[in-house]
């Protein structure tokens, strides 16, 4: 695979892939943290003839100041020749289509730089600038780890050309000269501009004829009309100062934007052909086999089989490949959060997402699997059984999500595919995705389901809040945190005016699943919508860390009180909880687990680490007595449910920590085989 070749090349030399260059720039001129800023680099006498057009665009966009100031940016810098070609091509596209039924508006109606509108200058400048520094060695994934200033992700792809591995941005622009390291970031020179024009997600998918059957189903169900959301322009708190979770006024931040985006998992026609589905009529018949024939004449009905089929393929959030699970996500340039420390070795990485069918799907990177092909990819609805309960489901489990580069290489026909759209991301898959309640309940989701609270709020992923970079040192509370305002997230209800809920981006010195956490201050009273697990009886738990700054909290489910208030200040060694550290005798450990369960508590899991604890080697969260799982209730899940969290003390400035929830089938909880400790 080219990806493997690329990684090997990076190990040998960060410059193996940029040895060929068509632009007249001195490639020996590698800047290593001089006093030059990005602006200085572009305006340098040796470079000005190559970047004068780019400088003009940034000045027109009033963004030159960013390039001159302290920060940590990535500038993708197209040369003058590249910008000239780009303007000519975009103008040609407009002129060739403007009198047709489907004109392609690019925003550019002249090939001359002096005719570029202010709005297009801003669009162009934001497209080529990323508010986080990425060197070539950090571009080993298919998507750059942070959004650009247009709040869109940039695809990274690799090609072998003249025995060199070349890096392309959005399959358009080659990095002809990389890693110009400067005082406020890094510049990568491009031989073409990155197009800022983009289609909505369904229009993007319709560009590719090899998704014709899926596209026909999208049209029939009118999902093309339903997936037109892009930005909530009524949201205006982006520049308003917020509180800090330490109650320091005027130092925090709210989410900067409120974009509305989607993710589509789509089968190319070849996958349908392999199951005897050759056109839309065949797909409809196939869908009816699984979802029934109710409202068969109305494809727009949520009860229609084709509608159910399509809606199970769509998430109400944008999740690029690298954020489907917590694995090698580029965050903070590895300064504030180190994933190799935060997780135990070879622990599977997974997450669960609610679809627009209001049913769950699971994604898994099985790092514990000895099969390298299995462990290095991400799969939808992995089977827990060698033989599924429903034999027909063997064609619809263990579905591979293709990486962009892999899909491009799979077939010459797919070489032009890009899943990057204005309002979402498209992931090609290798099997037909089907939801079957019986199979999901008895097989795929017949497990302890652990949901990071960040997973419950789609808006955080879409708007680059979840796993966001930390702010510059000395600003914004000193934490990578956001206050989530009332009404921002549809699955979070703020129930009184003195509630402040914060998301804190992953950091190294704690004991949190996936590294991040949520905190609340004030006389808080708020609620989260619980995930749509298959109908059944489950035990519900909340994971948190205890310390003296915490508060006393009452939990409710569907506004029904669950037990007595929980004092989040006390560690698990308190007699009311009963923690004892694990010893060599596993019978003693199991007995202590039973004692804690009788008190309504559990130790944390073994899969993530306690980074507070010193000593040689990694120590698991289970070994940290302040990492606790509180058993909230056992209940029947069917339909919509909410967990409510309310402060019931008068301790000033106390805070409520909540890290994750677990929803566990009672068949596992009550099994004669003890629940695994992961």
pLDDT per position as a tens digit, 250-262: 578 899 899 999 9
Q: Which of 455, 551, 561, 595 is nearest to 245 (CA)?
A: 551
349 occurs within a structural domain: no
Q: In the block, which residue shows the tokens 């680099």?
A: 41
| Enclosing domain of residue 523 | 449-669
338 occurs within a structural domain: no
CA dist 96 to 90, 92, 113, 116, Å? Answer: 10, 6, 20, 19
Please report the pLDDT score of residue 157 as a whole number: 83
Predicted confidence (pLDDT) at residue 469 exceeds the cutoff of 90: no
Shared-domain flag, residues 481 and 409: no
Please report the pLDDT score of residue 24 as a whole number: 42
Predicted confidence (pLDDT) at residue 7 exceeds the cutoff of 50: no
573 occurs within a structural domain: yes
Q: Please identify, among 173, 190, 207, the residue that sits at the C-terminal boundary of a domain.
A: 190
Please report the pLDDT score of residue 32 as a whole number: 47
Predicted confidence (pLDDT) at residue 271 exceeds the cutoff of 50: yes
**458-486 mean pLDDT:** 79
Q: Is-contact 173 78, C-beta < 8 A?
A: yes
363 occurs within a structural domain: no
Q: What is the pLDDT of residues 343-376, one digit of tens each?
A: 888 899 999 999 999 999 999 999 999 999 999 9
Shared-domain flag, residues 83 and 109: yes
551 occurs within a structural domain: yes
Predicted confidence (pLDDT) at residue 450 exceeds the cutoff of 60: yes
Confidence of residue 196 (pLDDT cuts 50, 70, 90): confident
Least confident of 153-157, 303-307, 393-397, 563-567: 153-157
Least confident of 88-92, 271-275, 557-561, 649-653: 88-92
Predicted confidence (pLDDT) at residue 54 exceeds the cutoff of 50: yes
pTM attached to this predicted model: 0.85
Distance CA 524, CA 142 (A): 41
Predicted confidence (pLDDT) at residue 22 exceeds the cutoff of 50: no
CATH of the domain at 58: 2.30.180.10
Q: Is-contact 314 356, C-beta < 8 A?
A: yes
Please report the pLDDT score of residue 322 as a whole number: 87
* Highest averaged pLDDT of the listed ranges 179-183, 199-203, 246-250, 452-456: 452-456
**507-534 mean pLDDT:** 93
Q: What sections of 104-170 are H helices per DSSP? A: 118-127
Shared-domain flag, residues 220 and 306: yes
Shared-domain flag, residues 538 and 566: yes
Shared-domain flag, residues 422 and 457: no
Q: Which of 125, 142, 117 is nearest to 58 (CA)?
A: 125
Q: Please identify, among 190, 212, 247, the residue that sits at the C-terminal boundary of a domain.
A: 190
Shared-domain flag, residues 473 and 527: yes
Predicted confidence (pLDDT) at residue 475 exceeds the cutoff of 80: no
585 occurs within a structural domain: yes
* Highest averaged pLDDT of the listed ranges 148-152, 161-165, 244-248, 619-623: 619-623
Confidence of residue 19 (pLDDT cuts 50, 70, 90): very low
How open is the CA angle 611-614-617, to the nearest 5 degrees? 80
CATH of the domain at 546: 2.60.120.260
599 occurs within a structural domain: yes
Please report the pLDDT score of residue 541 as a whole number: 98
Predicted confidence (pLDDT) at residue 1 exceeds the cutoff of 70: no
Please report the pLDDT score of residue 75 as a whole number: 95
Q: What ranges make up the beta strands (E) of 134-247?
A: 156-161, 164-169, 173-182, 185-190, 241-242
Q: What is the pLDDT of residues 624-652, one digit of tens each?
A: 999 999 999 999 999 999 999 999 999 98
Q: What is the pLDDT of residues 655-666, one digit of tens each?
A: 999 999 999 999
Higher pLDDT, 298 or 157: 298
User: What's the start-to-end Cα distance of the chain, in Å?
Assistant: 33
Q: What is the mean pLDDT of the chain?
A: 89
Shared-domain flag, residues 152 and 274: no
Please report the pLDDT score of residue 648 as a whole number: 97
343 occurs within a structural domain: no
Q: Is-contact 531 360, C-beta < 8 A?
A: yes
Tokens of 610: 């306690």
Phi-psi region of 499 (alpha: psi -120 to 50; beta: other; left: phi over 0): beta
Q: What is the bridge-based pairing of β-strands 73-78 and 185-190?
A: parallel
Shared-domain flag, residues 207 and 68: no
Distance CA 38, CA 48 (A): 12
| Packing angle, helices 280-291 and 212-221, rounded to 10 | 70
**140-151 mean pLDDT:** 82
CA dist 164 to 90, 154, 160, 190, 548, Å? Answer: 29, 22, 5, 16, 57
Could you give the number of structural domains in the chain?
Answer: 3
Shared-domain flag, residues 222 and 114: no
Give me the percent of the chain exceeding a pLDDT of 70. Answer: 91
Predicted confidence (pLDDT) at residue 225 exceeds the cutoff of 90: yes
Shared-domain flag, residues 101 and 44: yes
Shared-domain flag, residues 143 and 218: no
Predicted confidence (pLDDT) at residue 402 exceeds the cutoff of 60: yes
Predicted confidence (pLDDT) at residue 226 exceeds the cutoff of 70: yes
Confidence of residue 53 (pLDDT cuts 50, 70, 90): very high
Shared-domain flag, residues 202 and 180: no
Q: Which of 592, 552, 454 is nearest to 512 (CA)?
A: 454
């Amino acid at each position: 695979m080219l990806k493997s070749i690329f990684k090997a090349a990076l190990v040998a030399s960060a410059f193996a892939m940029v040895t060929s260059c068509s632009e007249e720039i001195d490639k020996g001129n590698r800047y290593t943290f001089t006093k030059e800023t990005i602006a200085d680099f572009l305006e340098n006498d040796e470079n000005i003839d190559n970047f004068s057009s780019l400088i003009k665009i940034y000045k027109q966009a009033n963004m030159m100041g960013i390039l001159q100031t302290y920060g940590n940016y990535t500038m993708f810098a197209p040369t003058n020749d590249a910008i000239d070609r780009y303007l000519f091509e975009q103008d040609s596209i407009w002129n060739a289509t403007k009198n047709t039924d489907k004109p392609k508006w690019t925003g550019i109606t002249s090939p001359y730089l002096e005719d570029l509108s202010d709005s297009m200058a801003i669009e162009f400048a934001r497209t080529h600038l990323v508010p986080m520094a990425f060197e070539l060695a950090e571009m080993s994934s298919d998507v750059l780890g942070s959004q650009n200033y247009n709040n869109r992700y940039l695809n990274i792809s690799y090609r072998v050309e003249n025995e060199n591995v070349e890096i392309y941005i959005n399959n358009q622009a080659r990095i002809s000269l990389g890693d110009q390291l400067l005082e406020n970031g890094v510049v990568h020179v491009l031989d073409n501009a990155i197009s800022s024009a983009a289609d909505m997600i369904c229009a993007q998918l319709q560009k590719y004829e090899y998704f014709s059957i899926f596209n026909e189903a999208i049209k029939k169900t009118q999902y093309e009309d339903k997936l037109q959301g892009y930005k909530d322009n009524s949201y205006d708190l982006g520049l308003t100062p917020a509180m800090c979770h330490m109650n320091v006024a005027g130092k925090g931040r709210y989410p900067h934007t409120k974009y509305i985006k989607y993710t589509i998992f789509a089968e190319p026609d070849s996958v349908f052909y392999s199951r005897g589905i050759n056109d839309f009529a065949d797909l409809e018949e196939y869908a009816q086999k699984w979802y029934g024939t109710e409202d068969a004449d109305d494809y727009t009905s949520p009860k229609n089989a084709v509608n159910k089929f399509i809606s199970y393929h769509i998430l109400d959030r944008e999740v690029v490949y690298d954020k489907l699970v917590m694995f090698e996500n580029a965050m903070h340039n590895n300064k504030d959060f180190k994933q190799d420390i935060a997780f135990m070795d070879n622990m599977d990485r997974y997450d669960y997402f609610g679809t627009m069918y209001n049913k769950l799907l699971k994604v898994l990177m099985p790092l514990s699997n000895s099969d390298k092909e299995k462990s290095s990819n991400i799969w939808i609805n992995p089977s827990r059984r060698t033989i599924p309960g429903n034999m027909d489901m063997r064609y619809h489990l263990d579905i591979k999500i293709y990486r962009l580069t892999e899909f491009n290489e799979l077939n010459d026909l797919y070489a032009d595919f890009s899943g990057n759209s204005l309002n979402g991301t498209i992931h090609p898959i290798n099997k037909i995705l089907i939801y079957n309640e019986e199979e999901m309940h008895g097989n795929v989701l017949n497990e302890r389901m652990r949901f990071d609270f960040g997973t419950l709020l789609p808006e955080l992923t879409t708007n680059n809040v979840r796993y966001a970079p930390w702010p510059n040192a000395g600003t914004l509370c000193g934490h990578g945190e956001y206050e989530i305002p009332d009404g921002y997230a549809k699955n979070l209800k703020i129930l009184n005016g003195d509630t402040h809920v914060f998301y804190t981006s992953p950091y190294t010195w704690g004991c949190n699943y996936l590294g991040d956490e949520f905190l609340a201050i004030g006389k808080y009273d708020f609620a989260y919508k619980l995930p749509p697990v298959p109908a059944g009886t489950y035990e519900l738990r909340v994971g948190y860390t205890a310390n003296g700054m915490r508060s006393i909290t009452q939990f409710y489910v569907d506004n029904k009180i669950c037990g007595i208030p929980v004092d989040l200040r006390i560690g698990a060694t308190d007699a009311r909880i009963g923690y004892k550290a694990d010893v060599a005798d596993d019978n003693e450990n199991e007995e202590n687990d039973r004692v804690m369960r009788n008190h309504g508590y559990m130790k944390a899991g073994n899969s993530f680490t306690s980074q507070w604890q010193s000593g040689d080697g990694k120590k698991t969260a289970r070994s940290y007595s302040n990492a606790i799982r509180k058993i909230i209730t056992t209940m029947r899940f069917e339909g919509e449910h909410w967990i409510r969290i309310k402060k019931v003390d008068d301790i000033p400035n106390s805070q409520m920590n909540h890290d994750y929830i677990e929803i566990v089938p009672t068949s596992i909880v009550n099994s004669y085989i003890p629940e695994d400790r992961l």
